[in-house]
Amino acid sequence: MTKKITFLGIETSCDETAAAVIKENSRGTADILSNIVSSQISEHKKFGGVVPELAARAHLENIDYIVKKALEKSKINLSQIDGVAATAGPGLTVCLTIGLNIGKSIAAFSEKPFVGVNHLEGHALSPGLETPIDFPYLLLLISGGHTQYLIVKDVGKYEQLGTTIDDALGEAFDKTSKMLNLGYPGGPCVEKFSKLGNKNFFKLPEPIINKAGCNLSFAGLKTAVLRESKKINDNEKMKYNLAASFQNTINKILYKKTKIALEMFKKKVQVKEVKLIVAGGVAANKSIRDNLNNLSKEMNFKVIYPNTEFCGDNAAMIAWAGIKRFKKDLFDDLDISVKSRWPLDETAPFMKGPGLRLG
């Protein structure tokens, strides 16, 4: 029987200070021995978004305690772990530095291997914490900073099929919530209030819906929400109608673009069973899940979501990516530094800015 690997994971790329201890199990998934997440919602609430300096200060204040708590809860001591993983990018440099340095220090003094994890790879592999999944699969990664369709061929092997050319989907949810004064963090608030409104009340744009393959765009939709929000004068019912119409428009965009991404995936990869994994903070959205479940029935593919506990930022997914890399001998030297920009597919064209040709 091969040894089951145990890892400590640390995550500080944005506004969650997180640490986790997980261990491989005989089902090919992970036993979560601890998964501690300290969210900074109250710090950033009054600003309606993440303030990098405040986030960094909060990470600094909390990280020792959170790591200690994760180890205590796991009932594992440092001599019993096989390695340490910490997020090395992408994200806010001031925030990443704190978790990465703590991770490297723990690895150094406990003389354990270290893995600097790509946060996006953490999300990409996260459903594997609970569900055994083999490669390849199509990934829809929807978070606060990224929105992408990728073929996940193996650990460390990604091919980007499409991406947002402007805002990330989580960002569009957060800005909509801010414009409608629905609360913070934005995504869950828009989801909650959209249930109270009429989803067909506003006709909102679906940018680049009939062009640019499975690339996406949300800036025009956001501008339309801003325009309509100014006309409704804080009227509660109309706010809910606008939130519902926004959610409905997102669903229509994702339905169409995911369909295109699946066709592209099937042309590139020969598999018996087509699988779509939806990961990242926005994957917690129930309406998006229902919508993609309908598409899976129409197109006959399997769709897998992480448990909502593992959709938003957490360190269990970082530890898991660490274990997966460790098993392929992909560890890092302790002089690894943060990478604020770190695409999963380094060969993919940069899709933002003027001069973009969408075909």
Binding site for Zn ion (CB under 5 A): 143, 313
Pair 242, 274: CB distance under 8 Å: no
Closest approach of ligand KG4 to the CB of residue 284, in Å:
4
Closest approach of Zn ion to the CB of residue 158, in Å:
16
Of 283 and 303, the one with the shorter C-beta distance to Zn ion is 283
Of 143 and 241, the one with the shorter C-beta distance to Zn ion is 143
Token pair for 305: 């979501």
Closest approach of ligand KG4 to the CB of residue 49, in Å:
9
Cβ neighbours of residue 231 under 8 Å, at least 6 residues apart?
Answer: none
User: How many angstroms separate the CA atoms of 195 and 209, rounded?
Assistant: 25
Pair 200, 245: CB distance under 8 Å: yes
Of 167 and 313, the one with the shorter C-beta distance to Zn ion is 313
**Which does residue 284 bind out of ligand KG4, Zn ion, none, counting CB within 5 to 8 angstroms by kind?**
ligand KG4
Token pair for 77: 């001591």
User: How many angstroms separate the CA atoms of 185 and 193, rounded?
Assistant: 13
Unique residue bearing structure tokens 């009054």: 46
Closest approach of Zn ion to the CB of residue 57, in Å:
20
Of 121 and 228, the one with the shorter C-beta distance to Zn ion is 121
Token pair for 187: 């995504």
Of 144 and 322, the one with the shorter C-beta distance to ligand KG4 is 144
**Which does residue 173 bind out of ligand KG4, Zn ion, none, counting CB within 5 to 8 angstroms by kind?**
ligand KG4
Footprint on this chain of ligand KG4 (rule: CB under 6 A): 14, 143-145, 170, 173-174, 185-188, 191, 280-282, 284-285, 312-313
**Which does residue 186 bind out of ligand KG4, Zn ion, none, counting CB within 5 to 8 angstroms by kind?**
ligand KG4
With residue 115 as reference, give the H or E element that holds it.
strand 114-118
Closest approach of ligand KG4 to the CB of residue 282, in Å:
4
Pair 30, 20: CB distance under 8 Å: no
Rg (CA), the chain: 20
